[in-house]
Amino acid sequence: MSEQPSTPTIVASFKPGARADIAARAELSEIDASTRAPLMLFLVSAVLWLIVGTAFAIISSYKLHSPGFLGDIEWLTFGRARTAHLNAVIYGWATNAAVGVAFWLMARLSRSVVRHGGILLFAVALWNIGVTIGIIGILKGDSTSVEWLEMPTYATPLLFIAYALVGAWAVITFRYGKSKHIYVSQWYILAALFWFPWLYSVAQMMIIFAPARGTVQALVNWWFGHNVLGLWFTPIGLASVYYFLPKVLGKPIHSYYLSILGFWSLAIFYNWAGVHHLVGGPVPAWVITAGIAASFMMVVPVVVTGINHHLTMIGSFSALKYSPTLRFIVFGAVNYTLTSLIGSLMAARSVSETLHFTHFVVAHAHHGMYAFFTMVMFGAIYYILPRILLREWPNATLIRTHFWATAVGSMVYVVGLSIGGVVQGLMMNHTSPDGSVTYTVLQVVEATIPYLFSRSVAGILITVGHLAFAVNFFWMLSKKPVSQSSAPTLFRNPEEMELAAK
């Protein structure tokens, strides 16, 4: 990573550009200081919700193969526990982390200190109050039963107001930016900050507050659920990759033009892609065909982005040994490519007929939301927090435990549940020569139990990683600031680390 600002030597002070470099470092320090209070509130909230969501995830996963587990507790039935897990992770952990990382990136790339920080402080407080009320409502049984929109109606107005304040702050920061360039990360962030309220407000109106009729609700639901991942979390994740990858390596991204091509092709094609999940449903054939075509066209931004990231990494893979940020970012970037290509494959009618109503879809959703987005957010936090607090991460072993537990756990989850989904789909669609169904529902369920058990094993590994991360995170908050003259390991450039090791 880039080196911590320090007092330059006499020789360095006489070098050309030394004064400009010192001024740039001072400017970054001022920006980081201005973001400290709201960012820490976002990140602390995110980590707390991550632990809450993980607890509900373990409970709901275990219930799939052991239905009697906590069966006497009404508010921990599978329907409520899994819904609480989903909303705690999506609106608690992921959105808090996404907004926190996004506004830090926007401030740095715009070269603008945070103005009206009180807006952000009020927004994050209001957002988390709304999420808390929503989760409690779900556990009470007030869920709307609409996937990704389960929070009761008395919680959503708070979320609207909180997000409006975040959007207003983003416009102010970008407006007063001093940077002469608009970076691709800013394109992604600004687009995502516009797309999310558009998606959320339209879905709330057409499904919850003034419901549309018939199959239009199904179309809107898949349009919202698919696009929240693709047009909200994905742009924030890609903005982070495009910033941290070259930043940690100390070299520019391979091609600016490829990154712009990736952005516009994502913006054009992804909006239509979600409806391919309704293949075979009672919706107009042209809508399904358009969704399938858009899903196949999504190969363009995925391949372009993957090539750009890979070519940037060429010659620098040894840096993965020294940078925790780089490990998480690269892992997430690779899985973005994999899960996106799998998503395009799932749009094929023949594939959808087999996999649509199976655990494969669940594995695919977690592949994108966790193995890509969440891992990228972990990497971003490992980079940002030392620069905000001027403190070193207290324990490198906890960082390694976090990475390997979550990386292995997420792959066990995705691979195990994907295989289980294929087995499930083939059994459900298998017929005897006379046309009758070969396997009963009970036989199909029994065949998937080993794969559901692997899901719980993966959940335990991921929980270990999350606990290691949370311990390190809150331990770091209690540490005293380091002196500017000391050079913490994680602040150093990977090349310097390699030379020091020799």
* Residue 317 main-chain phi, psi, to 5 deg: -65, -25
Average pLDDT over residues 235-244: 97
338 vs 143, 284, 305, 368, 371, CA distance in Å?
A: 33, 30, 12, 9, 10
Judge contact between 152 and 138, C-beta under 8 A: yes
Q: HSE-up of 240 (CA within 13 Å, CB side)?
A: 37
* Residue 68 main-chain phi, psi, to 5 deg: -80, -10
Question: d(Cα 294, Cα 435) in Å, to the nearest integer?
Answer: 35
- Length in residues, the chain: 502
The per-residue pLDDT for 435 is 78
What confidence tens digit (pLDDT) does each residue in 314-344 have? 988 988 988 999 999 999 999 999 999 999 9
Average pLDDT over residues 362-387: 96
Class of domain 216-502: mainly alpha
What confidence tens digit (pLDDT) does each residue in 451-481 have? 999 999 999 999 999 999 999 999 999 866 5
Average pLDDT over residues 82-97: 97
Over 70: is that where the pLDDT of 284 sits? Answer: yes
pLDDT tier, 488 (very low <50, low <70, confident <90, very high otherwise): very low
Q: How many helices (H) and strands (E) does the chain have?
A: 19, 0
pLDDT tier, 13 (very low <50, low <70, confident <90, very high otherwise): very low
User: Which residues face 442 on adjacent strands?
Assistant: none
Question: d(Cα 471, Cα 238) in Å, to the nearest integer?
Answer: 27
Residue 434: what residue type? D
Over 70: is that where the pLDDT of 493 sits? Answer: no
Over 70: is that where the pLDDT of 151 sits? Answer: yes
- For residue 101, give the nearest of 40, 161, 159 by alpha carbon: 40
Over 80: is that where the pLDDT of 439 sits? Answer: yes
Average pLDDT over residues 32-39: 91
* Residue 246 main-chain phi, psi, to 5 deg: -70, -30
Which contacts of 256-264 are long-range, i.e. CB under 8 A and separated by 24 or more positions? 256/184, 258/304, 258/305, 258/307, 258/308, 259/184, 259/305, 259/308, 260/184, 260/187, 261/300, 261/301, 261/304, 262/238, 262/301, 262/304, 262/305, 262/308, 263/184, 263/187, 263/188, 263/191, 263/301
- Look over the chain and give the mean of its residue pLDDT values, rounded to a whole number: 89
Question: d(Cα 167, Cα 131) in Å, to the nearest integer?
Answer: 18
Question: d(Cα 398, Cα 450) in Å, to the nearest integer?
Answer: 30
Q: Which two tokens stand for residue 142?
A: 């007030």
Q: Which two tokens stand for residue 290?
A: 């358009």
Question: d(Cα 389, Cα 384) in Å, to the nearest integer?
Answer: 9
The per-residue pLDDT for 481 is 54
Higher pLDDT, 67 or 409: 409
The per-residue pLDDT for 83 is 96
The per-residue pLDDT for 14 is 44
3-class DSSP assignment, residue 251: coil
Share of the chain above pLDDT 90, in %: 72
The percent helix, strand, coil of the chain (3-state, each to 5) is 80, 0, 20
The per-residue b/e assignment along 195-214, b for 16 or more CB within 10 angstroms, e otherwise, is bbbebbeebbebbeeeeeee
Higher pLDDT, 165 or 22: 165
3-class DSSP assignment, residue 431: strand
User: What are the residue boundaries of the structural domains of the chain, listed by start?
Assistant: 25-181, 216-502
Average pLDDT over residues 160-176: 84
User: Which residues face 478 on adjacent strands?
Assistant: none
The per-residue pLDDT for 71 is 82
> 207-211, 375-379, 462-466 — which is least confidently predicted?
207-211
Q: Which two tokens stand for residue 381?
A: 């936090």
